[in-house]
Amino acid sequence: MTRIVAISGSRRDSSTTRAAIRVALDAAADAGADTDLIDLGGVDLPLYHPSEDEQGDSEHLKRLVREADGVIAGSPVYRGSFSSTFKNFHDFCGSEEYEYTAVGLLVTAGGGSYGAALEHLRSTFRNVHAWVVPHEVGIRGASSVVCDGEIADEDLRRRTETLGRVVVEHAERLP
């Protein structure tokens, strides 16, 4: 069975990123994948230190990613890029975790600009040999369209569900 892991790079309790990621993850499950969510706001992950092998939950989280066929990566947009929480987690992972892994990207912005954050994520995932899928989702004004765990805008909801299905489709094609 195809295994998809979603990673939410938000620490906010009522995170729009986490809610949107769950919509994509539910669509991946509906497409037949076994799914799991890594909520970086709820794990023990100290700042990355390259001289220390195991830190907090790092080994467990890396194993979840390494064993996944696909990843749905989500982050809020902060200062035009992805969150420091996501960056810290990403520093723990390398090509061993992402090689031959389909990765779908999703970002949520409080304002209107999210393009640079998607580009930064795309670039860093390609750097660790992930197969970034061409379909990606950026949500402007996220707090006004992602409410109570649902995406109120029908087009955005469909695009987010499509992301989950596309990651499954690409993951099934990779060796």
**Would you state the structure tokens that stand for residue 76, as one six-digit string?**
């809020």
Tokens of 88: 């810290």
What pLDDT score does 54 carry?
A: 86
Residue 112 pLDDT greater than 90, yes or no: no
- What is the reported pLDDT for 158? 98
How confident is the model over 59-83, as pLDDT tens digits?
A: 999 999 999 999 999 999 999 999 9
The whole-number pLDDT of residue 18 equals 98
50 phi/psi in degrees, rounded to 5? -65, -15
Give the angle 3-164-102 at the CA atoms, nearest 5°: 55
**CATH class of this structure's domain 3-173:** alpha beta
- Is the pLDDT reported for residue 113 higher than 90? yes
Alpha helices in the chain (DSSP H): 16-30, 58-66, 84-92, 95-98, 115-127, 142-145, 154-173
The pTM (predicted TM-score) of the whole model is 0.97
pLDDT of amino acid 31:
98
d(CA 135, CA 56): 33
pLDDT of residue 53: 81
Residue 71 has phi, psi (to 5 degrees) of -130, 140
Q: Cα(106)–Cα(91) distance, rounded to whole angstroms?
A: 19
* CA 82 to centroid of chain Cα atoms: 11
Chain center to CA of 54: 22
